[in-house]
Amino acid sequence: MKIALPDLSAMERFGAAIASALQPGDVIALSGGLGAGKTTLARAIIAALGHAGEVPSPSFAIVELYEPPTVRIPVVHADFYRLSHPAERDEIGLDDYRAGAALIAEWPENAGGFAHEAGCLSITLQAADDGRIAIVEGGGDWLGRMPCP
């Protein structure tokens, strides 16, 4: 499925649609080069889950955890750009963070990928003539759960 995201408000609507369906254990794998819009979409999802404050880019800390009551469900925002080997995801304790939470992952391929997991929605963001385009590939029942943005 392809979704046109011509501007930031389209990104916010897309993030809200994802957030409304998001459940603990799900993974949103965000692929695309530098500047593709991964952090922008992650912020839109986290904001729509209820977080009112800033959402720092986790590229230095690698993981940021958001917990209720700030957000509807616990969500981990991870940026694996700096991982040089997938095994490092164990060193940062990713599975401990993920327990009972949803995961939003930038540069998922650097962590070995998540597409094999049943609850993984893979989104690839690309520059388009007009803003961005999202190529969405659903795992499990994801696409049925998500309302049209």
What residue ranges bind ligand ADP (CB under 6 A)? Answer: 5, 7-8, 10-11, 32, 34-40, 106, 131-132
> Which string of x and - marks every residue 12-51 that binds Mg ion (by CB under 5 A)?
--------------------------xx------------
DSSP string, 62-124: SEEEE-TTSSSS-EEEEEGGG-SSTTHHHHTTHHHHHTTSEEEEESGGGGT-STTSTTEEEEE
Q: Does residue number 98 form part of the binding site for Mg ion (CB under 5 A)?
A: no
The residues near 96 (Cβ < 8 Å, ≥ 6 apart) are none
Tokens of 54: 């800033």
Q: 38 vs 89, which CB is nearer to Mg ion? A: 38
Could you give the count of Cα atoms lying within 13 Å of 11 in the half-sphere of its Cβ? 21
Q: 38 vs 98, which CB is nearer to Mg ion? A: 38
Q: By beta-carbon distance, which residue lies closest to ligand ADP?
A: 131
Min CB(69)–Mg ion separation in Å: 26
**Binding residues for Mg ion (CB under 5 A):** 38-39
